[in-house]
Amino acid sequence: MAHSDLPDVLIIILDAARAENFSLYGYGQNTTPHLSRYADRLAVYRHGISAAMWTLPSTTGLFTGLYPSEHRLVIDGDRLSPAYRTLPEVMKAAGYATAKVTGQVPYVSDFSGLHRGFDHEYEPPPNLTQRLWRSYKRRKTAAAGADRQEGLDLGLDLAAEARMHANGGRKRRLQYWMTGYFDSGAKSCFAETQRLFGQTDPKSGRPLFCYMHLQETHAEYRPPHRYRTCFVPQELRSRNFATINQRPNPHDVGAVTMTEDEYRILTGLYDGCIAYLDEQIGRLLDQLAAQDPERFENMFVLIAADHGDCIGRHGILGHQFVCYDELIHIPWIVKWPASVGITGAVDGLVQNVDVMPTLTELLDLPPVADQGREACSFLGSPTRDLAYSEMLKPFGASAVKQGLHEKAPQYRRAVLSVRSRTHKLLVYSNEQPSEFYNVANDPHETVNLLDSALGGGLVEQATAADCEAFMALKAAAEARKARWLEAAQEVDNRVFHGEAVEIDPEVEQRLRALGYID
């Protein structure tokens, strides 16, 4: 295609945003009214499944078309092999101007090698409140001793981490209240994206490929004040939200206990974060449509997530240790170019690894040789029968230092999920029995249809359709099992017996603040 015929491409990733909390997906709270305004122009894929349950391997899958057991980029400090071409590199070679606009997430950067192929990179500067807080922390660290590196000890002690939300005094309440006046960079990122589209024009120059990655839906949940209480149950709005634990590790090993009311409050705060990003997305789409209606009609826009969040379900806070649907069922919303004409609900399976072949087909580009052979284009009707998700690293190096693996040894295992539109099989690398669910009837995966007392056979209430689905998923898992287990063993050996990967202190501090390397 000539440059003037190529559509602009905009990818918006909302970190840790699970599909079930989008009103566009039928959620009872009106969290996505602005996306709903565009519903007649959007294709809403009902079964978007992430290839991983946390940011680094999931985003790498989107950029390469590879599953975690293929790209192996799951350990903080590792960088993507130069043998793999990234989506930005492919788009740049096709004639696109390429831009990365991200909030406070360090994974899509030089830290991981996922920055390759971008002409322009933007990360919003810290706001005034954040600058003042960092200045205070530096002074406090200096007073504690010159040999103590700033921030590197935060979270390494589970007891200290468990106490972070215990003190609900004026200082803690004020700190939490102040977070309602700024975000994690989304507002600045959307302004930058609008500016980029305003200065590029495929009719006279290069079309734009823009990748956005936004952190507002990632814990800790701190929606702006206008969304802070509107999704929290009325009877709980007077609670001091600053005292509610939002740190996953002490929760997941039992050092912190939480009530159902506290999970309900966290869910309400989470919904507020989704609603805030929905507002920002709606504003950007309005601006792009008004700026150049013809160009907007020709644009490809993907709004998705890298993974979801548990918020207490299955005993987990955050996104670690498991591959249940609250972590891997993600929103997958596409505005196709008008010439493609796909709108409405789409029932087929799609995965983030499918972006690369979809865009190469849409843009009439040659497929990336020897890469993404298991990925499927979803241009037209999705063709994949099964979706795979892999968890290879339950504990990182700092979690081992923290002793998390000793306090929760049951989580020292890899997880493989094989999912159809209606059923799901979970296989574990240790002695934990496999689990099988009818996710069409049991979306929260509460009734395991495998009975370990029967040697892994199906329970009595399983239907003929359940039996047929189980045999198909079991065969698919067996075919994948050797590669997955080999990759998981390699990761385990490196975490527990390999040399520690050096991480830039500033990057480590940011990852720890997000809860990724505790």
User: Quick one: pLDDT at residue 126?
Assistant: 77
User: Quick one: pLDDT at residue 442?
Assistant: 98
pLDDT tens, residue by residue, 110-166 = 889 999 999 999 999 877 666 666 666 667 666 665 443 333 334 457 888 888 888
Residue 147 CB contacts under 8 Å (≥ 6 apart), including other chains:
none
Look at 468 and 510; give whichever has higher pLDDT: 468
Token pair for residue 140? 């406090």
User: Quick one: pLDDT at residue 457?
Assistant: 86
- Is residue 251 assigned to a domain? yes
- Are the C-beta atoms of residues 229 and 237 closer than 8 Å to each other? yes
Give the pLDDT band of residue 510 (cuts 50, 70, 90).
low
User: Quick one: pLDDT at residue 131?
Assistant: 66
Look at 515 and 230; give whichever has higher pLDDT: 230
User: Quick one: pLDDT at residue 146?
Assistant: 45
- Bridge partners (DSSP) of residue 186 are none
Above pLDDT 90, what percent of the chain? 77
- Angle between helix axes 186-199 and 260-291 (nearest 10 degrees) is 20
CA distance 36 to 38: 5
Kind and range of the H or E run holding 115: none
User: Quick one: pLDDT at residue 155?
Assistant: 45
- Is residue 518 assigned to a domain? no
Token pair for residue 460? 């009595």
User: Quick one: pLDDT at residue 150?
Assistant: 36
Where residue 23 sits, what CATH number does that domain have?
A: 3.40.720.10
- Are the C-beta atoms of residues 316 and 248 closer than 8 Å to each other? yes
The arithmetic mean of pLDDT across residues 190-212, rounded, is 91
User: Quick one: pLDDT at residue 505?
Assistant: 61
The arithmetic mean of pLDDT across residues 374-391, rounded, is 96
- Are the C-beta atoms of residues 355 and 334 closer than 8 Å to each other? no
Residue matched to tokens 């999704």: 231
- Are the C-beta atoms of residues 112 and 90 closer than 8 Å to each other? no
pLDDT tens, residue by residue, 151-161 = 333 445 788 88
Give the pLDDT band of residue 440 (cuts 50, 70, 90).
very high
The arithmetic mean of pLDDT across residues 252-266, rounded, is 96
Domain with 283, as residue range(s), is: 3-513
Q: Is 120 helix (H, G, I), strand (E, B) or coil?
A: strand
The chain-wide mean pLDDT, for the chain, equals 91
CA distance 460 to 451: 9
CA distance 307 to 220: 15
CA distance 368 to 73: 19
The arithmetic mean of pLDDT across residues 198-207, rounded, is 84
- Is residue 288 assigned to a domain? yes
Above pLDDT 70, what percent of the chain? 89
pLDDT tens, residue by residue, 214-231 = 999 999 999 999 999 999
Q: Helix H segments across 98-231? A: 128-144, 158-162, 170-178, 186-199, 225-228
The arithmetic mean of pLDDT across residues 436-446, rounded, is 98
For residues 481-497, one letter each, b for 16 or more C-beta atoms within 10 angstroms of the residue's C-beta and e for the rest, the string is eeebbebbebbbebbee
Q: Is 457 helix (H, G, I), strand (E, B) or coil?
A: strand
- Sheet containing strand 423-428, edge to edge, reads 387-391, 415-419, 423-428, 435-438
Say how many domains are in the chain.
1
User: Quick one: pLDDT at residue 91?
Assistant: 98
Query: What's the Cα-to-Cα distance from 464 to each of 418, 468, 470, rounded to whole Å?
Result: 19, 6, 10
Query: What is the pairing mode between strands 43-49 and 332-335?
Result: antiparallel
User: Quick one: pLDDT at residue 3?
Assistant: 59
**Residue among 101, 119, 407 at smallest CA distance from 252:** 407
Query: What's the Cα-to-Cα distance from 506 to each of 503, 509, 518, rounded to whole Å?
Result: 8, 5, 15
pLDDT tens, residue by residue, 48-92 = 999 999 999 999 999 999 999 999 999 988 999 999 999 999 999
Q: Is 299 helix (H, G, I), strand (E, B) or coil?
A: coil
User: Quick one: pLDDT at residue 132?
Assistant: 66
User: Quick one: pLDDT at residue 399?
Assistant: 86
pLDDT tens, residue by residue, 287-323 = 999 999 999 999 999 999 999 999 999 999 999 999 9
CA distance 323 to 80: 23
